[in-house]
A and B are shown apart, each in its own frame.
Chain A
Amino acid sequence: MKIKIKYFAFYRDYFKKECEEIVLEKPLNVEDVFKMLLKSSPLKEKLLSSTLFAVNQEYVDKTHVLQEGDELIFVPPVSGG
C-alpha cells in the first residue's frame, strides 16, 4: 500500500525533503507512521502530541488509519510573527 507524505516547516528541515512516497506492508494509523519515520528522535512523543495531521486536506486524529493513495501532511505549529 503506497501513501504520500508531505512535510511542512520544521519537518521539511528535519527530513531534508518536501515530500516522499512510502510503502506500508500493512494498514497503519497516523501515529504508527509518524513513529516509524521519527524512530531515532528522542523527542518523538513530544513532537507527536504537538503536531497536526491532515489526510487528503482534512484534519485527522492520530488514530486515523491510512488507505492506499492517501496524502498525509505533518503540520507543526509555527510561532513567529
Chain B
Amino acid sequence: MQNRYEKQIKLSEIGEAGQKKLNAASVAVVGVGGLGNVIASYLAPAGVGRIKLIDGDSVELSNLHRQILFSEKDIKENKAHAMHKKIKELNSTISVESFPIHLQKNNIDKILSNVDIVVDGTDNFKTRFLINNFCKQNNKTWVYGSIDQWHGECAVFRSRGPCLNCIFPNIEEGLFQNCNESGVLGPSVGMVAMFQAQLVLQEILFPEGNQSFLYLIDTKNFEVSKIKIKKNKNCLNGRTSLPEISYNTYLNWKKKDKNIILLDIREREQYEKDALEGAEHLSYRSLLQSPDALKNYDKDKTYVLYCEKHLKTPFAKGVLEENGFKNVFILDQGYDTLRHCEECSNVAIKAPLSLRGVEDDVAIL
C-alpha cells in the first residue's frame, strides 16, 4: 500500500522515526491569513498530527490573491473555520481544532498551553509580543514571520535562545507600515510562509538547534540574508515587558523554581478564610504602614502578588521595588475572578496551613 509520506520518509534525515515525530507533534497557527494559509497547507500534508488554527477575522474578497486556500465561496466565513475544512481535505488523518477568535491575554493559556510549537501568521506586533512572552514563560518554541511589500523576515525563537524582545525591544506599531497599507504580491507572502513552514518541520524533526538566525528575505531580488542573533542581556526572558503574569504561568514557573513566593496581600481575615494554594500572606495595609513589614523577605527571590480585584497589586509591587526587590510580578487577575473562573479549573484554592491545622483539630474532636 502506498504511504502518503513516503517521499519525505525517503530522506535519510527523516525516515520512519522522523515521520513519527511529525505525527506526534502539535502546532498552533496564530492568524490564518496570507502567511497562515500557506503554513497550514504545508504542515497538514506533512502529517503534523495536531494543528490548531486561531483567527477571529472573516474571509474577504481582497484576501483571495494571497490567501490561496480560500475561494470565492468562503467569503464572509470565519478564516479559522474555513481553513479547518480545507486542511482536513488535504489530510483527513490529522486532528484539527479551530478557534474563531483573536488570540488575547485572557485566552492564550487555554489555547496554546498544550501545543509544542507556535507559528506566527499574524499581522501585528501586539499579538506577536503576546506570543513571544507566553512562549518564553512556558518554554515553548515559536516561529516568527512577517512581510511588508517585497521584504519578509522570519526566525525561530527557542525558550533558551534570543526572543523577539531581544532583537526588537522598542517596536512602535505604525512607525513602519504594514502590507494592508502598502501592498504585497501573493508569492512574496508565500515565500516567507514557506520558510516558516520549513522551520516548523525542522524544529520538530531536529529540535537540537542552538544557533539562532533572523532570515531577511528580499522576494524581489531573490536574496536571503541570514543574520546571527543573540540574547540581549537587558531582556529578562521576556519578563521585562510583562510584569503581569497569568496564574498558569505562575504554576509553570513554580514547577521550575521552588523559591518563587506567591504573596496574598489581602487582609489577614480574607487570607485565613481561603487563599490560593501555597500563598504566603503580607497585607497591603502593613506594607503601606512601614517597609519593616518586608524585613523577613529575601530581596533576591521572585515574588508574585495578588489581591482581591487586581487593584492594589500594582501599588504593592511599587513598594517592593522601592525597597530593593528586583523580581516582582503580579497576577493578571484578582482572587475574586480566579476563585469563580470556570475556565481556570486548575486554580487550586485551599485554606492556608494554619487554618487547615485548626480544622484538623476540630475533625479529631
Contact = CB atoms under 8 A, between A and B. Distances in A.
Interface residues of B, number: 45
Contacts of A50: 168, 170-172, 175-176
B225 A57 contact: yes
Contacts of A2: none
A54 B218 CA distance: 16
B170 A79 contact: no
Contact of B176 (A10, A49, A54, A73): A10
Contacts of B124: 79
Contact of B122 (A13, A54, A81): A81
| Interface of B (DSSP majority class) | mixed
Interface in B147-204: 147-149, 151-153, 167-173, 175-180, 182, 184, 189
A78 interface: yes
B123 interface: yes
| A contact residues, range | 20 to 34
B229 interface: yes
Contact of B214 (A52, A80, A81): A52
| Interface of A (DSSP majority class) | mixed
A75 B216 contact: yes
A9 interface: yes
A80 B148 contact: yes
B78 interface: no
Interface string A6-20: 101110110000100
B55 to A, nearest CB: 11
Contact of A77 (B34, B125, B218, B230): B125
A43 interface: yes
8 contacts: A9-B149, A46-B172, A50-B171, A77-B171, A79-B146, A79-B177, A80-B148, A81-B147
Interface of B: 31, 33-36, 120-125, 145-149, 151-153, 167-173, 175-180, 182, 184, 189, 214, 216, 218, 221, 225-230
